[in-house]
Amino acid sequence: MTLTITERRGHVLLIRMNREHKRNAVDRALADALDEAFNLLDDDPDLRAGVLTGTPAVFSAGSDLTALGDYSTERGGEYGLIRRDRRTPLIAAVEGPALGGGLEMVLACDLVVAGRSARFGLPEVARGVVPTCAGLFRGPRALPLNLAHELALTGDPFDAARAHAAGLVNEVTEDGAAEPAALALAERICRNSPTAVGASLAAMRRWAAASEAEGWRATEEAIAAVHDTADQREGVQAFLEKRPPRWSGR
């Protein structure tokens, strides 16, 4: 099975995650396939914008727990995307859930289009773990702080309308129309000077990156605080066994 499907649409590269039987959860193989697609987007001067999407039912459920954290690549970091230094605009086209690392992939993009039934969430605390792929600092940057707190501390998702009102989503479409709307947005970018677009994006990303070093340090401290705790083991086991967790606070 092809884990990513790429299509050239003029100067736009459409990248589809294609692991729907696992809710597009990212393992080693999908991370490598995504990395290859993003490398093409970065390296081909004829490509001026990219669109990242999932399947009609789901954008991505984030990390595949069976991968045991093995989903980083040399150029892109986690999922081939999270730590990538890009100069080519990337738009997320979201249908269905974008949860955990799926939302962190959305936060790594530059613009977001979502179908009306899309959902965004960081459910990690319900598993006894924490968001590890920049959600703890890109979330508060992309959203009002109290909404970022709600996402990270309750684990409950919110819908596309609320995401749009909060500024995370650029455009809400009818279900099934996020991809064509994202391609249309990409075409609007491609009408402009690729040199000016690349320089503008690089400047904005450089500004954002200035605070990210501290964000990664804070995330590493949060990861260490829950690593190998009884709650972490219980949360993951309960998730795999599809039962409510029994927290001990240890």
Angle made by CA atoms 29, 15, 102, in degrees to the nearest 5? 65
Task: Provide the residue type at 54 as one letter.
Answer: G
| DSSP track, 133-181 | SSHHHHHHHHS-HHHHHHHHHH---EEHHHHHHHTS-SEEESTT-HHHH
Of 124, 174, 187, 214, which one is the catalytic site residue? Answer: 124
Sign of CA dihedral 215, 122, 66, 56: negative
Say whether 179 is catalytic: no
Write 1-8 long-range contacts (CB < 8 A, 24+): 2/33, 3/29, 3/30, 3/33, 4/30, 4/33, 4/34, 4/36, 4/37, 6/37, 6/40, 8/47
Of 78, 104, 171, 179, which one is the catalytic site residue? Answer: 104
- What value does the CA radius of gyration of the chain take, rounded to a whole number of Å? 17
Q: Which helix (H) or strand (E) holds 72?
A: strand 72-73
Say whether 124 is catalytic: yes
Which residue's structure tokens are 């924490």?
A: 130
Three-state DSSP state, 231: helix
Residues noted as catalytic = 104, 124
